Amino acid sequence: MTIKCIAIDDEPLALRQISSYIERTPSLELVASLSNASDAYQLLESKEVDLLFLDIDMPELSGMDFAKSLSQNIGIIFTTAYAEYAVEGFKVNAIDYILKPIGYDSFMAAVQKAKKRLVQYKTAPEEIDGNNDYLFIKSEYKIIRIELSNITYIEGMREYVSIHRSGQKPLITLLSFKKLMEKLPHDNFMRIHRSYIVNLKKISTIERMRIIFEDDVRIPVSDQYKEAFQKYVDEHFLI
């Protein structure tokens, strides 16, 4: 199992160190080294990434705020000079945090935790069954029937997906986007972003390649899926 990684740190020396640790570790692959978190958004749209080594204390966009904004299934190991950030880090489901200056031993200890977490995610049993009208999905030790017509959109949340339904609380389940997309009828559902699948019949408005649902929920169409979505719009457009 190769874990694809991004290192993010505004300190050049720390960034070089983490990047070198990743490159010397056989089970890890360095996808990119970045000096700020903002640059990672676009990269995550086009690259498959399993793990972030993320500095917390950075200007403009802190590592903590960046982690809170992510919805992808990506593991996070925080790197920081401040131990007091540890508790806050675990609130965003971080795998581990490493205190600077970082030694290879502490780096590898965090990597081992990441491997266990990622293996659990990739090998976890996925419960899903149904037809073109409904799905049965496992959530919180229960099997729940979901009417497809009630789904507005589905959001990726690291190891989980959140299924948003009209007039109901979101349903959170341990399930991969790929597995779920295979079960959904493609004439009604479309993936329009790395982190979002939408029910095409629930779209209220489209504004500058953002899909607007009820309650003013706005979801962007990413470049990777823009062509397919535009084709759908063109096929249903009245001139």
pLDDT at 65 over 70: yes
Percent of the chain at pLDDT > 90 equals 38
Same domain, 135 and 118: no
pLDDT digits (tens, 9 = 90+) for 68-101: 887 566 889 999 887 765 555 555 668 888 999 9
Neighbours of 55 (CB within 10 A): 25
Query: Tokens representing 45?
Result: 């749209």
Contacts of 208 (CB under 8 A, 6+ apart): none
Which residues, listed in sequence order, are joined to residue 138 by a DSSP beta bridge? Answer: 143
Which strands make up the sheet holding 151-157, listed edge to edge?
A: 171-173, 160-165, 151-157, 196-199, 189-193
- 């990434």: which residue's tokens? 49
Whether residue 133 is found in the same domain as residue 62: no
Q: Residue 36 above 60 pLDDT?
A: yes
Q: Does 149 share its domain with 217?
A: yes
pLDDT at residue 124 greater than cutoff 50 = no
Q: Higher confidence at residue 12 or residue 237?
A: 12
| pLDDT tens track for 133-171 | 888 887 765 778 889 999 999 998 766 788 999 888 888
Residue 123 in this model has a pLDDT that exceeds 80: no
pLDDT surpassing 50 at residue 125: no
29 and 136 together in one domain = no
What's the average model confidence in pLDDT over 210-237?
88
Question: Do 150 and 53 share a structural domain?
Answer: no
- Same domain for 115 and 10? yes
Of 3-7, 9-13, 22-26, 207-211, the least confident:
207-211
Residues 154 and 115 in one domain: no
Residue 20 pLDDT: 97
Burial class (CB in 10 A: 0-12, 13-18, 19+), 120: exposed
**Greater model confidence, 33 or 72:** 33
| Token pair 């000079």 in the structure block, residue | 81
For residues 70 and 9, state if they share a domain: yes
Number of domains in the chain: 2
Distance of alpha carbon 218 from alpha carbon 61, whole angstroms: 22
Structure confidence by residue, pLDDT tens digits, 165-223? 988 888 888 777 777 888 888 889 999 998 899 999 998 899 888 998 877 788 999 99
**Domain hosting residue 204, numbered range:** 128-235
Q: Which one of 95, 123, 151 terminates a domain?
A: 123
Q: What's the DSSP call for residue 16?
A: H
Burial class (CB in 10 A: 0-12, 13-18, 19+), 107: buried
What's the burial of 66, exposed, middle or buried (CB within 10 Å: 0-12/13-18/19+)?
buried
